[in-house]
């Protein structure tokens, strides 16, 4: 979308890529998407078989060379090859044809498609999972940065869509950051199953060959092999846990988007979005539509539907390897991860670009009598029972609303028998600044909450970075082992 007259810029590039441009790119090659991680497992498996003396070095070297050639060509010879029993068997069949049964035929020794598929799923999930965590971290950083920036910008907190008590916009953002950290922590916990290696479980009962699952664990960047073969091939609870984590995160994203929709509306006008985060109308030239918020709401709930579908599919199967579990149920994870990540990116753009209209926020806090609770609490300090204070302040609120007079003015008339300090600093800004207990909107409390979220994000970032480093180091170790075996045989 280009400039429209009313809008002077195009939509932000990151949003445009998600909403308008991604579908224009060529879809991911399904052959490479399946066979690249499959061949990565094969490389680790063949090296391990050789080290264990199950496959001879010459045979292993020829087999690995054939696999490397396929990887280098993007599996081009397999693109038009029929796969009546699945792409993996077509791939293995090609290796047998090219290298002979004595070489290509040893590839699947001590292994089944069941444990292979369970392993490949984990490898395939690494990229989308890591991207989701990275984008959540970026959203968290944006929330905490903006919380600090706007930590004294007073606005009403809302309950039941009505002004409640004075807070600050920074206090709101710090609260969202705290919730996001919890959701990110749960996603990190769910992702720990990515580090468990199912390879070696065979079809369901392991294998009698003397394989070494710890070696393939090292080569593939896992932390430990799964100790039970039945669990290794029967369970895809990793998918359910990731979808559950995305669902909970999605609830947060949609709730925040709902708030921001209200606050950016013409009727409220508490927040302003720049031109690159809104859209116009194809017919109505005056419109500034915060449409990204609607995209967030739509994308953030995709995981809920995926979780429901995946859970239903898995619940139909017995606890063993099952297509309903390993194929049908797991198919729902990919679009859900992408949609959730997209929603996170879009919300980050909104958080970074939104500018509070401070005067209007303060006026709404004042007109909404948000200092009423603070006045009741001051009466409690003066010795008035809370329920009596609640009633008396409610009566003041009613009179102010009916007469159109300021709340503080009516309170000053009605509470003449109390000390003058009772009414001092009763404006929303002073009340918000004084509310430091219980994690309230007082400046020090908001900054402390932002600092806490920042520290927790940093800790989770360290965990993710260590995982990423382990994956990279394992890939280098495996490549070295493959290269050494091939070159050693050639020499």
Residue-wise pLDDT tens digits, 41-70: 999 999 999 999 999 999 999 999 999 999
Q: How far apart are CA 75 and CA 375, in angstroms?
A: 73
Query: Where in the chain do CATH 1.10.40 domains reside?
Result: 362-443
Q: Other C-beta atoms within 10 Å of 219: how many?
A: 24
Mean pLDDT over the full length of the chain: 93
- The CATH number assigned to the domain with range 13-361+451-490 reads 1.20.200.10
List, by residue range, all CATH 1.20.200.10 domains of the chain: 13-361+451-490
Q: Predicted confidence band at 289 (pLDDT cuts at 50, 70, 90)?
A: confident
Model pTM?
Answer: 0.93
Res 5: pLDDT: 66
Q: What pLDDT sits at residue 1?
A: 44
- How many Cα atoms are found within 13 Å in the side-chain-facing hemisphere of 47? 26
Quick one: pLDDT at residue 310? 97
Higher pLDDT, 339 or 418: 339
Q: How far apart are CA 277 and CA 16, in angstroms?
A: 10
Instruction: Give me the pLDDT at residue 25, please.
Output: 74
362-443: CATH, from 1.10.10, 3.30.420, 1.10.40, 1.10.3470: 1.10.40
The phi-psi region of residue 110 (left if phi > 0; otherwise alpha if psi is between -120 and 50; otherwise beta) is left
pLDDT given for residue 84 in this prediction: 72
| Residue 127 Cα to chain centre, angstroms | 13
pLDDT of 312: 96
Instruction: Return the HEC string of 250-270.
Output: HHHHHHHHHHHHHHCCCCCCC
Estimate to the nearest angstrom the gap between the alpha carbon of 422 and the chain centroid.
47
Residue closest to 332 by CA, chosen among 182, 125, 73, 116: 125
DSSP 155-223: EEEEETTEEEEEEEHHHHHHHHHHHHHHHHHHHHHHGGGGGEE-TT-TTTT--SS---HHHHHHHHT-S
- The values of phi and psi at residue 197, to 5°, are -95, 115
Please say if the pLDDT value at position 213 is more than 70. Answer: yes
Q: Which residues contact 17 (CB under 8 A, 6 or more apart)?
A: none
How far apart CA 126 and CA 108 sit, in angstroms, is: 24
């Amino acid at each position: 979308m280009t400039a429209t007259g009313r809008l002077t810029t195009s939509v932000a590039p990151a949003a445009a890529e998600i909403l308008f441009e991604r579908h224009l790119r060529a879809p991911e090659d399904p052959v490479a998407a399946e066979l690249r991680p499959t061949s990565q497992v094969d490389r680790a498996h063949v090296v391990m078989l050789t080290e264990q003396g199950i496959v001879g070095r010459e045979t292993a070297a020829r087999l690995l060379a054939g696999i490397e050639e396929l990887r280098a060509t993007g599996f081009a010879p397999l693109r038009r090859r029929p796969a009546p029993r699945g792409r993996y068997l077509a791939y293995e069949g090609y290796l047998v044809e090219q290298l002979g049964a004595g070489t290509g035929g040893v590839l699947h020794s001590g292994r089944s498609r069941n444990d292979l598929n369970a392993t490949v799923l984990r490898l395939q999930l690494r990229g989308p999972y890591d991207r989701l965590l990275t984008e959540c971290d970026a959203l968290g950083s944006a929330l905490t940065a903006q919380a600090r920036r706007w930590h004294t910008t007073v606005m009403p907190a809302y309950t039941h869509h009505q002004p409640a008590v004075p807070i600050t916009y920074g206090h709101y953002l710090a609260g969202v950051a705290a919730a996001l950290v919890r959701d990110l922590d749960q996603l990190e916990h769910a992702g720990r199953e990515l580090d468990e290696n199912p390879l070696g479980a065979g079809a369901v009962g392991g294998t009698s060959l003397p394989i070494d699952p710890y070696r393939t664990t090292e080569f593939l960047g896992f932390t430990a092999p799964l100790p039970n073969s039945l669990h290794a091939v029967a369970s895809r609870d990793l998918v359910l846990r990731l979808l559950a984590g995305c669902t909970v995160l999605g609830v947060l994203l949609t709730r925040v988007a709902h708030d921001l929709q209200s606050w950016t509306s013409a009727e409220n006008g508490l927040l302003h979005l720049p031109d690159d985060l809104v859209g116009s109308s194809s017919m109505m030239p005056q419109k500034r539509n915060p449409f990204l918020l609607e995209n967030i709401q739509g994308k953030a709930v995709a995981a809920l539907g995926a979780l429901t579908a995946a859970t239903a599919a898995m619940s139909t199967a017995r606890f063993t390897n099952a297509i309903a579990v390993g194929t049908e149920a797991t198919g729902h994870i990919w679009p859900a991860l992408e949609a959730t990540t997209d929603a996170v990116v879009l919300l980050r753009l909104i958080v970074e670009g939104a500018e509070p209209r401070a005067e209007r926020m303060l006026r709404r806090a004042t007109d909404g009598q948000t200092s009423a609770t603070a006045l009741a609490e001051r009466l409690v300090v003066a010795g008035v029972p809370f329920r009596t204070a609640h009633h008396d302040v409610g009566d003041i609120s009613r009179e102010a609303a009916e007469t159109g007079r300021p709340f503080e003015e009516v309170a000053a008339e009605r509470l003449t028998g109390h000390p003058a300090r009772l009414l001092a600093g009763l404006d929303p800004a002073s009340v918000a600044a004084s509310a430091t207990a219980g994690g309230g909107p007082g400046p020090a409390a908001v900054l402390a909450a932002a600092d806490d979220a920042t520290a927790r994000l940093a800790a989770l970032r360290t965990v993710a970075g260590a995982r990423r480093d382990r994956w990279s180091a394992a890939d280098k170790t495996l490549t070295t082992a493959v290269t050494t075996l091939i070159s050693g045989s050639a020499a």
